[in-house]
Amino acid sequence: MAKKDPYQALRFREFNLFLIIRFAMVFAWTMQFIVIEWEVYSLTKDPLSLGLIGLMEVIPAVSLALFAGHIVDQKEKRGLLMKCLLAFFTISSLLFIVCLPEFQESVATNLVVWSIYGLVFLGGIVRSFISPTIFSLFSLVVPKEAYVNGATWSSSVWQIGSVVGPAFAGFSILWFGVHWSMFVIVGFTIFAFLMLTQIEKKPILNKKIGEKVSDSLKEGLRFVFKTKEVLGAITLDMVAVLFGGAVALLPVFAQDILKVGPTGFGFLRAAPAIGSFLTIITIAYFPITVKAGVKLLLSIFGFGLSIIVFGYSEWFILSLIALFFSGVFDGVSVVIRQTILQLKTPDNMRGRVASVNSMFVGSSNELGAFESGLTAKIMGSVNAVIFGGVMTCIIVASSGFVFPKLRDLDLSKSDENE
């Protein structure tokens, strides 16, 4: 009966704290990225500048990802996450200062923009440690028999935060302005830190403390590439985010194409959030572990189609509907992908596997932003979005043949074996 309990993992206090912390962090991080995008585009009016924001974060995130995974597997997780939050607090506070009108009036616009780029670069360093730390902490706050249910709630909270944060950012820019929006982000960071102090220190499960970095990294990469379900999930996630990153160009669509200003921008950002939220509520009561591989492929294909419709649309209402369904499909795929990673990854390798995932997936958010900005510069914003959606559909369709184990995956069997 416990396996069918939609609240199984929620019956553990520290897991609830973990969900609160994760939501606050994802909300703050994604909100910050959107506020920065809006500010930089407002200052430059160049779509390529949006791509450069992603590039500035992805360079350190990818470069340090594997090393960060090694460190995470060697260190106590709660303490390491506390240090990450303190670093993020510092960066957000500095961005608040840079976005102050008084600061911007006293320095050249180029200096303001490059100051933002520099702080985003530092944020990329912090992010390379946050992702594997969070992933590793998950298994320490929920028992193994609740992994499937816990993974659903964890990925659902991540999804809610990742779409509600940007959606709120759009309205926050309208209501409070850019610099006070950054102040909200600082507040959420402090809140996450205070919640983290309520979780006890955790044991280090890795028995190879002091292992050579090179040996540790090779072991992590070997595991990912030999476990086809994990490799397939990571690859599909990377493709969907890389080529389906229409949201990176939303400031362009809101200001120059649909001409709906910050109010419309907020609604455009909110549309995927609503779709994801409704999907997540449904998944909590009706698990999607049966034939999960097929559902994953279909959901990402549907995501690509939604992006294509959004690219073609010149009607604000249709654009909202397309983004709503992109959130629906993305919500399904995120839950399935995160469940695969949690179930298939050994406890002593969670940091390294999460780092590999961060390299290919987490960083693809920023690479997707850069790809969107670059293609928008070359072929125009509308064509760039359509191109990304088409590429997503093509690659997902071919992935069903390249990763047959992923296509045939049924997570309900893993659930029964727990």
* Res. 92 pLDDT band, cuts 50 70 90: very high
Residue, of 203 and 386, whose pLDDT is higher: 386
Question: 137 and 18 in contact (C-beta within 8 Å)?
Answer: yes
CA distance 364 to 357: 10
Q: At what angle do helices 292-312 and 228-243 cross, to 10 degrees?
A: 10
Q: What is the mean pLDDT of the chain?
A: 81
For residue 375, the surrounding DSSP H or E stretch is helix 363-379
Q: Identify the pLDDT of residue 217.
A: 63
Q: How far is CA 59 from the centre of its chain?
A: 16
* Predicted structure pTM score: 0.69
Query: Residue range 351-362: average pLDDT?
Result: 67
For 308, half-sphere exposure in the C-beta direction (CA atoms, 13 angstrom radius) is 13
3-state DSSP assignment of residue 149: helix
Please, which contacts does 93-97 make with residues 24 or more away whose CB atoms are closer than 8 Å?
93/186, 94/119, 95/32, 95/36, 95/119, 95/182, 95/185, 96/179, 96/182, 96/183, 96/185, 96/186
CA distance 411 to 363: 26
Buried-exposed string 171-187: b where 16+ CB fall within 10 A, e elsewhere: bbbeeebbbebbebbbe
pLDDT digits (tens, 9 = 90+) for 369-410: 667 777 777 888 888 889 888 988 888 888 777 777 777 777
CA distance 310 to 407: 28
Structural domain boundaries in the chain: 2-199+211-417
Q: How far is CA 73 from the centre of its chain?
A: 21
* Res. 204 pLDDT band, cuts 50 70 90: confident
**154: pLDDT strictly greater than 50:** yes
Across 215-224, 316-325, 368-377, the highest mean pLDDT is recorded for: 316-325
Structure tokens at 36: 């920065």
For residue 290, what is the DSSP state?
T
Question: 66 and 220 in contact (C-beta within 8 Å)?
Answer: yes
Fold of 2-199+211-417: Growth Hormone; Chain: A; (1.20.1250)
CA distance 19 to 186: 19
Question: 21 and 195 in contact (C-beta within 8 Å)?
Answer: yes
Structure tokens at 129: 């440690």
Burial of 7 (0-12, 13-18, 19+ CB in 10 A): exposed
Supply φ then ψ for residue 346, to 5 degrees. Answer: -65, 150
pLDDT digits (tens, 9 = 90+) for 242-271: 776 667 788 888 888 888 887 788 788 778
Residue type at 321? I
Q: Identify the pLDDT of residue 208.
A: 55
